[in-house]
Each structure stands twice: as C-alpha cells, then as structure tokens.
C-alpha cells in the first residue's frame, strides 16, 4: 500500500538503527526519502542502494546535526533533490550517561546541540516548504516522562524539551494544516542499545510485555503519523514503549 505515494520526506540520523528503519518504512509506503548521516558513509550508501534496488527513491546527505549550518544545508539539499518537502522526521540524537556532577560541559552542550537545537533548526528551515498536510515528527524518548534511575537527567531534559516544543508548534502550525508530534520510544534493540546486559535486563523488567521493541515498531508509528489518516492528531507525545510507562 503506497499510502505515502508522491510524498517527500527528510529523516535526520537515518542511516542506522531506528532511523534506518524509518527510512525503509517510509520508502516502502511510497515516499521519496532523503536522510542524513553524520560520518560513516558505508551504511548510508548501503541503505540508499537497498531502497533503489527495490524501486524506491532515497537520497543520502552527509550532515552533522551538531552543526546548525549543516542541518540547514541538509534541509535545502533535501528540498532540491526531492523537489519539495512534505514530511520532516527529526531522528538524530545522542546520549551520554552519568550523574549530573560527572557530565562534562562538552557532553552537555553536544546533547543540547543535537537533541534540541538541531530539531529546532530543521523545523525552522523546513516550515517554509511544508504545505497543508505537512508532517513534523520527532523521535523523543520515554525518559522525557519516566527515568529508570540515576544517570539520565540531562538526556531526559533534552527529550522533555522537544516534547514541549512540539506542543507549542502544534498550536502555531495547526491552522496551516501541518501536524507536529513526538514519538517516545522505550527499550528498542539497536546496535547502540542492545537488548542484553545489566541495563537491558533492568529495562526489560520494567516493560509490561517483558521484552525489547524493534526499530520497525517505531517506524510503524512514524509512518502512521506521516499518513493522511493521522491528520487529526497533533501535539502528542506517543509512547511506543511496551508498557514501560504503564
């Protein structure tokens, strides 16, 4: 079902993990997709080739989300390569664990730059290109509302910030027919967040379903919010967390 046929999407941080799953799902649903990657070109090239071989359209763009100018340029390039923009998915994000007294100012600034400022910059640059039916979706975290324990305060703060930004933007952009939402994943198995080890065991015990989710679970939710069926949904923080917050 090509529910996103003729739609044009940009996914930041789209070459691996949850981002790559989102890119694949949007392409499968018929969208033309551009995605950014920060450094490693090989996974980006592989993903682009995979989608092209399946008859889809994918464009990879090298851009470090910590650099506001590169984020802005990535939006412009996506618009140029795709012929416009209908869907923006802010997926790029980083975390650095540690109690507040052990988090360096450098790590603090980097998390703010990528998890918050880059989201604002991408939205700021994308809005002029989004018409009625436009979609803005940001990957947040269940930690914005519920933390497992010490060591995640700064990360949780950044994800709470984008949830607040989303609610405000929903009011601003609703009259223009543009929806703005946050997906808040819980424990999701990726290379950067494996479902094995002490931390994974603790997370798994807190979920209602008793296991980690898959990147595809998050991608399904993003695809729905990007679809025409979700036109009456805006300003929400949608927990995709296996019941972690239940």
Q: Active-site residue numbers?
A: 155
Cβ–Cβ under 8 Å, residues 210 and 241: no
Contacts 24+ apart (CB under 8 A), 78-81: 78/8, 78/10, 78/34, 79/129, 81/34
Rounded to the nearest angstrom, the gap between the alpha carbon of residue 158 and the centroid of all alpha carbons in its chain is 13
Q: How far is CA 3 from CA 14, 27, 36, 224, 229, in A?
A: 20, 10, 23, 9, 9
Cβ–Cβ under 8 Å, residues 51 and 57: yes
d(CA 35, CA 144): 25
């Amino acid at each position: 079902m090509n529910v996103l046929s003729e739609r044009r999407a940009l996914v930041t941080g789209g070459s691996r993990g949850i981002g790559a799953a989102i890119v694949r799902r949007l392409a499968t649903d018929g969208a033309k997709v551009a995605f950014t990657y920060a450094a490693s070109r090989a996974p980006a090239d592989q993903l682009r080739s995979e989608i092209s071989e399946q008859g889809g359209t994918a464009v990879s763009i090298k851009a470090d989300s910590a650099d506001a100018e590169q984020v802005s340029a990535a939006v412009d390039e996506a618009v140029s390569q795709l012929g416009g923009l209908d869907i923006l998915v802010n997926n790029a994000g980083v975390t650095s664990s540690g109690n507040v007294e052990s988090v360096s100012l450098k790590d603090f600034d980097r998390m703010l730059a990528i998890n918050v400022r880059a989201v604002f910059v991408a939205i700021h640059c994308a809005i002029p290109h989004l018409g009625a039916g436009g979609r803005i979706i940001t990957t947040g975290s269940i930690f914005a509302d519920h933390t497992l324990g010490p060591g995640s305060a700064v990360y949780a703060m950044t994800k709470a910030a984008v949830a607040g930004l989303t609610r405000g933007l929903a009011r601003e952009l609703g009259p223009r027919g543009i929806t703005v939402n946050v997906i808040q994943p819980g424990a999701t198995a990726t290379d950067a967040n494996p479902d094995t080890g002490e931390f994974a065991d603790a997370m798994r015990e807190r979920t209602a379903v008793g296991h980690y989710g898959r990147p595809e679970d998050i991608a399904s939710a993003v695809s729905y919010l990007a679809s025409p069926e979700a036109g009456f949904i805006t300003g929400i923080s949608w927990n995709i967390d296996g019941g972690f917050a239940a």
